[in-house]
Amino acid sequence: MGIYDDVTIGDGQDCSNIVKTQWSYNTGIFLHGAAVLYNLTESDTWKKRVGGMMSDVWNKFVKNHIINEQFCEEHKQCN
């Protein structure tokens, strides 16, 4: 699963050059939306989506029980 920032596809483009950098903010927004929809519907579909996103967050953004921005702290690619 991936939630990517700034994915735009224009006329004539074929989706072959997508930057797959994931940021915690974008993932958090989608996670919040899925959690709200689960809370409203109590649907197993939304429960599975929330669980999948939480697993993704835990694997990509949590290190030593602290949420961090993987490309900033680990890869030193931020200002």
Contact 70, 58 (CB under 8 A): no
Residue given tokens 């994915």 in the structure block: 7
Confidence at residue 1, expressed as pLDDT on a 0 to 100 scale = 52
Confidence at residue 16, expressed as pLDDT on a 0 to 100 scale = 73
Confidence at residue 7, expressed as pLDDT on a 0 to 100 scale = 56
30 CB-near residues (< 8 Å, 6+ apart)? 3, 53
Could you read off the pLDDT tens digit of each residue along the chain, which spans 79 residues?
Answer: 566 655 555 666 666 777 777 888 889 999 999 999 999 999 999 999 999 999 999 998 999 999 888 888 877 777 7
What predicted TM-score, i.e. pTM, was given to this entire model? 0.71
What residue spans define the domains of the chain? 24-74
